[in-house]
Amino acid sequence: MKVMVLGGRGFVGRAVVKLLRERPDVQVVIASRHPGASESGAGGVSCVAVDARDEVSLCAALKGIDAVVNCVTGDGPSIAAGALSLVNAALKAGRPRLVHLSTMSVYGSQQGVLDERAELLDDIGWYGHAKIEAESHIRRYAQEGGLAVALRPGVIIGPGSEPWVRRIARWLQAHRLADLGAQGDGPANLVDVNDVAQAVVLALGMALPADGTMPVFNLAAPDSPRWNDYFCDLTLALGAGPLQRWGARRLKAEIYGRGVPLKVLERVAGKLKLDANQWPQGIPPSLAGLWAQQIQLDVRAATKDLGVQWTPYARTLAQSVQWLQAGSAAIAMA
């Protein structure tokens, strides 16, 4: 089977590629805007440069491909338009199976335990909006006779996660994040990046209905903690204590006194073509919303029907911390 991983050089894409390479029956094609050479040729992996928004180049790349894993990220238009051109190209080019990486953000601000039948709610910003639109394109692909599966992971962590491991760790180490009480009581819905990759591989192999429906699976570790617990565990593992405790006012002060101004500076720097990558990041308001949101993904379908074997949260945490510390050790040596 020949599998193309769109966005194969991203955080999730790399994990998917790594897992697929272990399969002797699978030939992997990494499709990316900037394909590197490192994996090219080795172990049945080839690379191809594709702009996911360019239907024509996609169509050409899809020749001979049996399945596509869509891990494309980026800004809203890349996500939504990328899915649209993928569907259009796939319909023209032999109708490969699509495994689409969606997100729990498609559930918007809804609270409670949500299974895959919950409605999609476009009320929490551009990311959820784009992902809902992307999912609707993929669903159309199924309706028009293609085979498609959508995966809705929660917050993907593990070694290599810049936003959810390194960024959070930096805030905690700088005492710019804390135990947030009720403001951090939301279930974190953490899922190990390797479990997401595992779900992708399982979705590539599962029997799919040819009735125009698109199976969907929530992905989150069943033992995933709440945000406050994650912050505390990370603090203790990094020896970054004592963990502070903030109330709602203190969190607001951090967001609007620091997070928002830093974001504005970053934008200005971008306009001036300055490199703002190493600048400190502040907490955006959207994150505060997520941390307080009482949303819990029901993952029984992924466990039972897809057969995902979940990595225990404690192991994911330990490996993430190991990655962080290896990174800082490397920096210290340099």
Partner 1 sequence: MIESVAGVAHGATLEADVCIVGTGAAGVSMALELMGKGHRVLLMEAGKDRDDPAVQAIYEGEVVDELMHSPTDKYRQRRFGGSTAIWGGRCMPFDPIDFEARDWIPNSGWPISYGDLAPYFAPANHYLEAGRCEYDADKAFSPPAPPMFAGFDSDQVRTNGLERFSCPTNMGARYKSRLAAARDVTVMMDAHCVGLKLHEDGQRLDTAEFATLDGKRFKVRAAAVVLATGGLETPRLLLASNDVQSNGIGNQHDVVGRYYMCHIAGNVGTLTVNGPVDRVRHGYEISPDGIYCRRRLHLSEQAQRELQVGNMVARLHFPKIIDPSHRNGVLSGLYLARHFISYEYGKRLRDGNKKGALLELQHMWNVVTHPFDATSFVTHWLRKRTLAERKFPSIILANKNNRFSLEVHAEQIPRSDSRVMLTDQRDVFGMPKMRVDWRYSKEDITTVERTLQAIDQALRRTGVGQFEFDRHTLEEDLLRFGAYGGHHVGTTRMGLDPKTSVVDGNGAVHGVPNLYVASSAVFPTSSQANPTLTIVAQALRQAHHIHGALTRDQQAQEVLA
Q: Give residues in contact with partner 1 (CB under 8 A).
A: 111-113, 178-179, 181-182, 185, 232, 235-236, 239, 241-247, 250, 292, 294-295
Is residue 313 within 8 Å of 295, Cβ to Cβ?
no
In whole angstroms, how close is the CB of 302 to partner 1 at the nearest point?
Answer: 17
In whole angstroms, how close is the CB of 235 to partner 1 at the nearest point?
Answer: 7
Comparing CB distances to partner 1, the nearer of 182 and 268 is: 182
> Could you tell me the CA-to-CA distances from 100 to 27, 80, 132, 139, 278 in Å, in that order?
19, 12, 12, 10, 32
Q: Which of 307, 283, 28 is nearest to 171 (CA)?
A: 283
Comparing CB distances to partner 1, the nearer of 143 and 294 is: 294
In whole angstroms, how close is the CB of 244 to partner 1 at the nearest point?
Answer: 6
CB atoms within 10 A of CB 90: 25
DSSP state of 226: B
In whole angstroms, how close is the CB of 259 to partner 1 at the nearest point?
Answer: 19
> Could you tell me the CA-to-CA distances from 80 to 51, 104, 133, 203 in Å, in that order?
13, 16, 6, 22
Rounded Cα distance between 324 and 316, Å, is 12
In whole angstroms, how close is the CB of 255 to partner 1 at the nearest point?
Answer: 16
Is residue 313 within 8 Å of 191, Cβ to Cβ?
no
Helix (H/G/I), strand (E/B), else coil: 3: strand
In whole angstroms, how close is the CB of 280 to partner 1 at the nearest point?
Answer: 22
Comparing CB distances to partner 1, the nearer of 73 and 173 is: 173
Comparing CB distances to partner 1, the nearer of 175 and 267 is: 175
Rounded Cα distance between 125 and 284, Å, is 12
Comparing CB distances to partner 1, the nearer of 5 and 283 is: 283
Comparing CB distances to partner 1, the nearer of 87 and 292 is: 292
Q: Which of 63, 64, 139, 57 is nearest to 98 (CA)?
A: 139
Comparing CB distances to partner 1, the nearer of 111 and 213 is: 111
In whole angstroms, how close is the CB of 251 to partner 1 at the nearest point?
Answer: 10
